[in-house]
Chain A
Amino acid sequence: MNNTILKVNNLKTYFFTRRGIVKAVNGVDFELKRGECLCLVGESGCGKTVTALSILGLIDSPPGRIINGEVRYGNLDLVKCSPKQLRQIRGKEIAMIFQEAQSALNPVFTIGDQIIEQLKLHLPLEHREARDRAMILLEEMGIPTVERVMSYYPHQLSGGMKQRALIAMSLSCDPQIIIADEPTTAVDVTIKAQILDIFRELKAKRQMSLIFITHDLGAVAEIGDRAVVIYGGRDIETAPVSEIIGSPKHPYTVGLIECLPDISKTTDRLVSIPGIIPSPIELPQGCPFHPRCPKAMEICSQQEPPQTTISEGHKVNCHLYQ
């Protein structure tokens, strides 16, 4: 247990809107161990981004609210922390890299200014020291001509460079944990490879603990140690990556892996999961996946499945395995 750096227990974040209650996160459990890369896997609307935002207390308070659960970081429960405490943690202890590099960077400030601002916010540095440190970080990211790039505005950089600048910013205060939200989604294949490489090095050199949010199972296979599959706001399967891919247990995970057009497979027709992803306003009763599940039983539409441990480190939430 000592190895655990972050533990999320039964997190529930709801948004109270006029159209109804949006149950974005509806009972998510997972733990992040020191130095590991944990992947939160799921398709759009499953609640993974909201989970990350909830950890850092970045949910817009009306209409959203964390109505249940705790996020244990060290001695603290982040859900119960005051805004002041959270501000000290964000960026310094737990840093987040947002999804759209485009909109996460302030368009009217140079890259250099933004990194320096981040540094001076948390560390007692002089301007010159902060500047030097910023340049070292950018170099570490593999950005050429660092001096020039420091004075560039975000629109002058390519997508890959912006992503790297964001990663540099998140590293600036040496955080314990980095949460990366879909960092490889909006970029080209070759840039994706470079970015995954950067993350791999971060893990190796800095022993960074990483929460990697993605829907790209390929990236999970490359860089993840363990994975948590999220569907309908709940974690439905947790296991080491090799087991998730090699022997998935939950029907959704099985379906997800089978429906990928994989470059090493030569099948004629893709297996697909019928139906559509449920809207978080109208989640099905019982197991959120049951309307689409090829192995659904009667109990699936009535009761939420409890967690079952299949083997060491491999847990499923499914009535099939009770």
Chain B
Amino acid sequence: MTKRLQDIARRIGRPFYGNRRLIKYYWERTRRNKLAVFGLAFIAFLILLALIGPLLTLDPMSVNFEEKNLPPVGFTTEKSVYHIETDDFTTTEVFGTWRHPLGTEGKGRDMLAMIVSGARISLLVGLIATGIAIILGTIIGVLSAYLGGWADNVLMRFTDIMMTFPFFLLLVLIVFIFGPSLAFIVLVIGLTGWTGTARLIRSEALSLRTREFVTAAKALGASDGRIIFRHLIPNAISLIIVIATLSIPGVILAEAALSFIGLGDPTMASWGIILEAGQHSLDTSWWVAVEPGIMLFLTVLAFNFLGDGLRDAFDPKSNI
């Protein structure tokens, strides 16, 4: 049994890894899109950051009130201290230092370390939640398309219901009961975010099912399982990759938004948490909010560029 599963698993991914000619073909087409290449480069940089960054930076959680609210390197701010004795303020200039290249926040935590750890968290959330959503969506979409009839109807009505599900309220409820936790956020986003994928994959599978090479496979004697795993899914994989790439930024932003309004996990320094902390001091320590903001912006942009580029590269009709 396991050998069959291995065999199947090997075959599904077959269109890509192991088939160097095809990978090379698609890579050539993607490469021509400069924006997509930028996106890919940035994502690669982020991954690098997430993997080895935490080893090279300070502890993002270590609090140090001495060095709180330092600006990034090259910037100066003023610090005012109130002296009771003189009933007056003295303002001193504060400089950014290389010890904290991106500055520090209100409790003296190093911004660079927090940004790096935030990268790791955002990527993890993005990949895992998207992974859950895509797998669920693909299974439901393909089953629905292939089984047809009442099964299709039932599954699609279920999808409709889930689409209207207020995942936000669910999250509030969970936070209320169990307290905020990153794991829950990921689970909730993943378990409610598959609906769009399911619809898209279903319609792709429906159109693939009527293509002549599927009829040809049936004429050769292929079983339903073989047709689904050997013909339908490989032909849909490019769509799945594009959907995944374009879903990740949405998920990352969802997590950031949740953290921003206070439902996030305060024990993790994700970009959303940092943003939330920084929103109150925008006039004084503006960098606390701006830095994670820029990172979010660039990340979302990068995934979108890459996703668009991949979509064009995979589309046989676009003349790249």
Chain A residues at the B interface, C-beta cutoff of 8 Å: 17-18
In the bound complex, CA of A17 to CA of B318 (Å):
13
Query: Given the complex, which residues of A lie within 8 Å of B32, measured CB to CB?
Result: 18
Enumerate chain A residues within 8 angstroms of B320, measured Cβ to Cβ.
18
Return 4 A-B CB contacts under 8 Å, by A number.
Answer: A17-B319, A18-B32, A18-B319, A18-B320
**Distance in angstroms between the alpha carbons of A204 and B320 in the assembled complex:** 48
CB distance from B320 to the nearest CB of A (A): 7
Closest CB in chain B relative to A103 CB, distance in Å: 15
Smallest CB separation, B15 vs chain A (Å): 23
Q: Which residue of A lies closest to B32 (CB)?
A: A18
Interface string of B226-243 (1 = CB under 8 A from A): 000000000000000000
Q: Cα distance A277–B320 when bound, in Å?
A: 24
Within 8 A of A (CB), among B141-174: none
Question: B residues bordering A, Cβ < 8 Å?
Answer: 32, 319-320
4 shortest A-B CB distances, which residue pairs? Answer: A17-B319, A18-B320, A18-B32, A18-B319
Kindly list chain B residues whose C-beta atoms are within 8 Å of the C-beta of A18: 32, 319-320
Q: How far is the CB of B142 from chain A (nearest CB, A)?
A: 32
Complex: A18 Cα to B28 Cα, angstroms: 12
A14 to chain B, nearest CB (A): 16
Which chain A residue has the least Cβ–Cβ distance from B320?
A18
**Docked CA distance A18–B31 (Å):** 13
> Closest CB-CB distance, A64 to chain B, in whole Å?
12
Measured CB to CB, the closest approach of chain B to A268, in angstroms, equals 30
Across the interface, which residues of A come within 8 angstroms of B319, CB to CB?
17-18
A91 to B222, CA, bound (A): 53
CB distance from A284 to the nearest CB of B (A): 24
In the assembled complex, the Cα of A181 lies from the Cα of B164 at a distance in Å of: 52
A63 nearest CB neighbor, chain B only: B319
Q: Which residues of B are found within 8 Å of A17, using beta-carbon distances?
A: 319
| Complex-state Cα separation, A17 to B320, whole angstroms | 9
User: Smallest CB-CB separation from A19: which chain B residue?
Assistant: B319
Give Cα A17 to B319, complex, Å: 9
CA distance A189 to B319 in the complex (A): 36
B316 CB → nearest A CB, Å: 14
User: In chain A, what residue has the closest Cβ to B319?
Assistant: A17
Shortest C-beta distance, A20 to chain B (Å), equals 12
B24 to chain A, nearest CB (A): 15
Shortest beta-carbon distance from A60 to chain B in Å: 11
A18 to B32, CA, bound (A): 10
**A18-B319 Cα distance, complex, nearest whole Å:** 9
B312 CB to nearest chain A CB (Å):
13
What distance in Å separates the Cβ of A95 from its nearest Cβ neighbour in chain B? 30
The CA of A17 and the CA of B32, in the complex, are separated in Å by 13
Task: Tell me, in angstroms, the Cα distance from A276 to B13 when the chains sit together.
Answer: 34
Instruction: Give the CA-CA distance A88 to B319 in the complex, in Å.
Output: 32
Chain A nearest CB from B179 CB (Å) reads 56
In the complex, what distance in Å separates the CA atom of A61 from the CA atom of B199? 39
Complex Cα–Cα for A18 and B318 (A): 12
A18 to B33, CA, bound (A): 13
Q: Whole-angstrom distance between the alpha carbons of A209 and B320 in the complex?
A: 40
Min CB gap A277→B, angstroms: 21
